[in-house]
Chains A and B, each alone.
Chain A
């Protein structure tokens, strides 16, 4: 089942001198239910912009973007989001933060329903080892704890797709691994569909079932001087074994990481649009005539 569908999507921002600055360039993408997509790319290539389009916070300059076959409108509960920061309400306790979403939907006079969700929220918090911290405010929590609350807060409303923008970017390596394992457990248990943006290639290769690399470093037939936006230059299936973090030490894993680094992050390595490594079964891409006139 298709959760998310991009077709020929462009995103350009106006610049002060009046021209448009093209960030995303003719993007095609389909994400199926249950997929754990990781998205990497050079800094400033447009990863957060892509998430903003999905959220409905920004509008595509061209093309169509649907969620479950509905045009993606203003932000609503079909999408969930976890940011690196500012995900939590500073004036609410941990439990109140988690209950915020459900309580928007259940009016206060439906006491039984509210009690039910509350029990469920406590159960989820217990699962992410926050059972003893439910009455604390975000500023009293460590970064890792805050992100665990943010994840629970987002998934309790059961969004079609959970978007995560460098959620573990500010955590130390130990906490990061713990969070990765935890996220994988939650993904399996609740059958989540995730689009996970990260700077960390190892994290991307380790977590995902599908790896997307967005990059502005490529070539096509639109001429030398054309201001290109970013495209997916890699879209491939990842084969994950056990949940153990030990896979990160295997030679195959390192080879994968190195090849991605070359294809996506090296400004001098310019693959032609027709040679991109797009071998994921759901991957597709339609090029305009200008892009490949040969």
Chain B
């Protein structure tokens, strides 16, 4: 009999220990996607030199570089950066406003019994309204300007944020609230010195989840009424079948969302070590 300890498989089964192999595994789906695209794009270009549906990587890089470095003849702006800036600002405003409102509502509903009675059912009902369905109302009521786009993002994100944060506030142990009062806190102090500080990492997490939804509503709103923005550009490019603009823009949006998500994740990791420790 060999006395070597048995090693579990690298890949197969629930006890697999991929070790450093996991980096390769993680990269694999990305590599396969890129390879597949490149392969089919090349084949189509062979068959038809003026192929537009699957532009080559070099075409996309060329087009994006143009948009990012050559000022637009009519407006004098760098289109790519101008679009990015407008969109990011809209999301920040929309999600920021949603955060502000949902924190207030969550504290109101989660802490005060009367607040619960007053607000719980109403916010739950609001959260069932499909946000895109009220976009026309927004457009009619407040016009096609910035406000209706930010408004759509706000309406699309705040109900779920409120629900999530309310659950969190209600989930804080009753003992802790009683304890706080026995330590001599006022109700105001209970809210701002005890409950709110504990909410912050959860707020950040809720924002992380809402940014995804925020993009959806942003792109819808920009597609319908706008003159700049990443979503606007995609819909505009569609008219000319300009896939060499659309695909890089989609990749860029994905990247922006990923970056925002990573930053927020790292903030929780480094600044709120107790949050992760108490979650399990």
Q: Which residues of A contact B (CB under 8 A)?
A: 55, 57, 74-77, 79-81, 83, 85-87, 89-91, 100-101, 104-105, 137-140, 153-154, 157, 159
Contacts and interface: CB of A to CB of B under 8 A. Distances in A.
Contacts of A57: 174, 178
A86 B198 CA distance: 14
Contacts of B272: 91
28 contacts: A57-B174, A75-B178, A75-B181, A75-B182, A76-B184, A77-B182, A77-B183, A77-B184, A79-B182, A80-B182, A83-B179, A90-B198, A91-B197, A91-B198, A91-B272, A100-B193, A100-B194, A101-B183, A101-B184, A104-B184, A105-B184, A137-B277, A138-B274, A139-B274, A139-B278, A140-B277, A157-B183, A159-B182
A77 to B, nearest CB: 4
Nearest to A74: B181
A184 to B, nearest CB: 22
B176 A86 contact: yes
A55 B193 contact: no
A76 B173 contact: no
Contacts of A101: 183-184
A104 B182 contact: no
A86 B184 contact: no
A150 to B, nearest CB: 9
Interface in B171-207: 173-176, 178-186, 189, 193-194, 197-198
Given A75-B182, A76-B181, A89-B198, 8 more contacts: A74-B181, A76-B184, A81-B175, A86-B176, A90-B278, A101-B183, A101-B184, A139-B277
B143 interface: no
Contacts, number: 70
B278 A104 contact: no
B279 to A, nearest CB: 10
Contacts of B189: 104
B115 interface: no
B136 interface: no
B273 interface: yes
Interface of B: 173-176, 178-186, 189, 193-194, 197-198, 272-275, 277-278
A102 to B, nearest CB: 8
Nearest to A52: B178
Contacts of A81: 175, 178-179, 182
A15 to B, nearest CB: 21
Q: Which 4 A-B pairs have the closest CB atoms?
A: A101-B183, A77-B184, A75-B181, A86-B173
Contacts of B197: 91
A55 B184 contact: no
A74 to B, nearest CB: 7
Contacts of B175: 81, 83, 85-87
Residue among B175, B182, B273, B275 having the largest count of chain A Cβ atoms under 10 Å:
B182
A137 B274 contact: yes
Given A75-B178, A81-B178, A137 B273 contact: yes
Nearest to B197: A91
A154 B194 CA distance: 16
B183 A104 contact: yes
Interface SS, B side:
helix
Nearest to B199: A91
A157 B182 CA distance: 9
Nearest to A57: B178
A222 B24 CA distance: 77
Contact of A91 (B181, B182, B184, B274): B274
Nearest to A139: B277
Given A81-B178, A137-B274, A89 B194 contact: yes
A192 B82 CA distance: 68
A157 B184 contact: yes
A101 B197 CA distance: 16
A86 B278 CA distance: 11
Contacts of B181: 74-76
Contact of B186 (A86, A104, A157): A104
B272 to A, nearest CB: 7
A159 B184 CA distance: 10
A153 B182 contact: no
B80 to A, nearest CB: 42
Contacts of A104: 183-186, 189, 193
Contact of A154 (B182, B198, B274): B182
A226 to B, nearest CB: 32
A81 to B, nearest CB: 5
Contacts of A75: 178, 181-182
A173 to B, nearest CB: 25
Contacts of B179: 81, 83, 86-87
Contacts of B173: 85-86
Contacts of A140: 277
A100 B180 CA distance: 8
Contacts of A159: 182
B273 A76 contact: no
A80 B197 CA distance: 23
Given A83-B175, A104-B193, A55 B278 contact: no
A138 B198 CA distance: 14
